[in-house]
Amino acid sequence: MNKRNLTDYLLTGFFWVSGLFILLVLVAILAYLIWRGGAFINMEFILGSPAGYPLGSEGGIFPAIKGTLWLVLLALIFSIIPGLATAIYLSEYGRNQRLAEPVNLLVQSMTGIPSIVVGLFVYALCVVKLRWGISLLAGGVALSLMVFPVIVVTSRDALLAVNDNYRLVAKALGVSESYTLWRIILPRAVPGILAGILLALGYAAGATAPIMVTAAAIIASSSGVLLEPVMALPYHLYILFNEHMSLDNAYATALVLVLMLLFINALALWLHSMQERNNAR
C-alpha cells in the first residue's frame, strides 16, 4: 500500500470515528443515567416531597417539578408576546426600515449573553432594587430574558420561511396587510413558531445559573406564590450532588430532567420538520 492510500484510509477512519462519537455520547449519557437512576424513579419519587436528614437525602422531587413548571410558565408568559411581536416586525414590516438592522443585530447578540450575566442583572434589578427578594417572580423574569431572543430568532425564521409568493399574491389581490398576516402567513408559520417556543421552554427548564441567584431555594413548597423562592429541578440536582445529600436521588433527578427535556426537544424537532414539509408545498 502506498503512502497516499494509507493517509486516505486513516483520514476516512478519523471522519467515521468522529461522526460515530456524537452518537456514542448521547447513548452513553442516556444509558448511564438510566442505569444509575432508573431504579429510583417511581410514583413516590415523582409525587413525593424531600424527606430525610438533611432534607432531600430521601423522598421525592415533586416541589422541584412544580417549581420548574411555574418558572417556565412565567418565563413564557413574559417573553412570548414581545418575542412574537418583534419577530413579526422583523419578518413582515421592518424589511425596508432602517430600524430593522440594529434590532436584528442586537437581538441576535442577546442569544450570546451568558446566562449567569442575565442572573446578575435580574438580581441587581429585581431582587435588590425592586426588593422582590429571591423569588419565583424574579426567576421568571430572568428566564424570560434568557429565552426572549430564542423566541424572536426562531419565530422570525419560521415566518421568513413562508413562501414569499403568498405575500405577493395577497398584495396583488388587494388583501389588507393584517388579513394577510393573520389568515395567510401566521397559520403557515405556526408549527415553526411552536417549535421555537418548545425550544425556549426546554432551554428555560434546564437553566440553572440564572435561577440559582434569583429564585431557587434548597427547600420550598413551590406553591406558586410570586414573591417566594421556589425549588427547581436543575438547582435541586446541583444541591443534591454538591452538598453530598444523595447520589442516587441526584441520578434519578438528572434522569427525570433529561427525559423531560428530550421529549420536549423531540416534539420541537417534529414540529419543525412539519413546517418544512408545509413550505415545500
By CB under 8 A, the residues from 230 to 249 that bind other proteins are 234-235, 237-238, 241-242, 247
Q: Measure Cα distances from 266 to 273, 278, 280 in Å.
A: 11, 18, 21
Q: How far is the CB of 223 from other proteins (least distance, A)?
A: 23
Q: Which residues contact 258 (CB under 8 A, 6 or more apart)?
A: 29, 30, 33
CA distance 156 to 130: 33
User: Which residue, 50 or 234, has its beta carbon nearer to other proteins?
Assistant: 234
Choice from 63, 67, 75, 86 touching other proteins (CB under 8 A): 86
User: Which residue, 25 or 51, has its beta carbon nearer to other proteins?
Assistant: 25
Closest listed residue to residue 60, CA positions, set 75, 74, 49, 72: 49
**The three grid cell numbers given for residue 68, joined into one nine-digit string:** 420548574
Q: How far is the CB of 107 from other proteins (least distance, A)?
A: 6
User: Which residue, 25 or 55, has its beta carbon nearer to other proteins?
Assistant: 25
- Please identify, among the stretches 38-46, 55-63, 220-228, 257-265, the one whose residues bind other proteins according to the rule CB under 8 A: 257-265
What is the size of the binding site for other proteins (CB under 8 A)? 84
Choice from 137, 142, 213, 220 touching other proteins (CB under 8 A): 213
Choice from 55, 113, 168, 227 touching other proteins (CB under 8 A): 113
Binders in 152-211 for other proteins, by CB under 8 A: 152, 176-178, 202, 205-209
Choice from 55, 169, 226, 269 touching other proteins (CB under 8 A): 269
Say how far residue 107 (Cα) sits from the centre of its chain: 17
- Please identify, among the stretches 12-20, 44-52, 58-66, 165-173, the one whose residues bind other proteins according to the rule CB under 8 A: 12-20
Place of cell 449567569: 116
Place of cell 405575500: 167
Binders in 25-84 for other proteins, by CB under 8 A: 25-26, 29, 32-33, 82-83
Q: Does 265 bind other proteins (CB under 8 A)?
A: yes
Q: Which residues contact 216 (CB under 8 A, 6 or more apart)?
A: 67, 134, 139, 229, 230, 231, 232, 235
Q: Does 105 bind other proteins (CB under 8 A)?
A: yes
For residues 154 and 191, the answer to whether their CB atoms sit within 8 Å is no
Choice from 12, 77, 95, 226 touching other proteins (CB under 8 A): 12
Q: Does 218 bind other proteins (CB under 8 A)?
A: no
Q: Does 262 bind other proteins (CB under 8 A)?
A: yes
Helices (H), the chain: 3-37, 43-47, 62-88, 100-110, 115-122, 136-160, 164-172, 177-179, 186-206, 209-214, 233-242, 247-280
